[in-house]
Amino acid sequence: MHLSNVVRQHWAALRALLALTVITGFIYPLLVWGIALLPGLHAKAQGSILSASGKPVGSKLIGQLFTDKDGNPLRQYLQSRPSAAGAGYDPTASGATNLGPESIVDTPADPTKLVPGTDPSTAGFKPSLLTQVCSRSIAIGKLENVDGSRPFCTGDGTGAVLSVIGPRNRSGNVTHPTQVVSVNQPCAKPGSAPAAVFQQIFEGVRVTCAQYGQDYSIGQIVPIRGSAPDQSSVPADAVTASGSGLDPDISPAYAEIQVARVASARGISVGQVRDAVRHNQHGRLFGFVGEPVVNVLAVNMELDRNFPVKS
């Protein structure tokens, strides 16, 4: 290859580099920035920040917690759906738990490391998705004074799951159980009373609590439906986190079960809270995509503005 050809090729590459740098590095960003300044788009480009008394309180596009310093729900506010993003609604840690429908068995805590009043996760406890849903449903039921029971959940808010051990048939099902263990209900610490299990007898075999360190995966894992109604009073979005962990909205059904509590805490009527919910409810995108939603921050701001809590 002649030297002149090499020079021409490199000169052409350099010109292409300079042209693309100008287009993608300067012209395109300036164009997008200019579009973002157009009326109707500027607020969205700045993060859709909502302000109260001249101070920013959050974005209507990112959820936030309405709890006290100990993590307890503030009764005067609508509560958001759960979040798995960091400590809750952390935009730098957006994401989900990656747990699916088959996550029904908890990882137990080491009883020798459990300290009363501390988080069991420090002793190795990892709840399954089922137990997370069950515990949240029980807690919300108590907070909102509704029935928090759900199918496949125990009365104390854990997954109602048994490991049935014994000989199996060709289909893999245990035909004659020899041992049945409630895998998500661990036995009490040595020296204390044995843990109570949610079901005493299964197919003629007494159900026992789970001993720490034992592997019950050799048994057939059987979730027990229980007597809870098919349709729980606590909506699904109240007990499950969104894929991003940043969802600012809840379903109208979840907002509705919170109305009475918020009205009582603020000393106003249920109808006044429902009006605030209705003002900040949005229908399906384009009329057919998704489901109607209620923006939690917008409702709480309207309530603070119109019906401030008396200290």
Structure confidence by residue, pLDDT tens digits, 183-212:
999 987 655 566 789 999 999 999 999 999
- Of the chain, the end-to-end C-alpha distance in Å amounts to 85
Q: What is the mean pLDDT of residues 136-155?
A: 96
Confidence (pLDDT) at 192: 57
Which residues, 6+ apart, have CB-to-CB distance to 232 below 8 Å? 137, 147, 148, 149, 150, 151
The amino acid at 267: G
> Checking DSSP bridges between strand 55-59 and strand 249-250, what pairing results, if any?
unpaired
SS3 180: strand
Q: Is it the case that residue 36 has pLDDT exceeding 90?
A: no
Confidence (pLDDT) at 207: 95
Q: Is it the case that residue 2 has pLDDT exceeding 80?
A: no
Tokens of 91: 């935009």
Q: What is the C-alpha separation between 124 and 48, in angstroms, rounded?
A: 40
Confidence (pLDDT) at 106: 95
Q: Is it the case that residue 118 has pLDDT exceeding 70?
A: yes
What average pLDDT does the structure give for the chain?
89
Name the least confident of 74-83, 214-223, 285-294.
Answer: 285-294
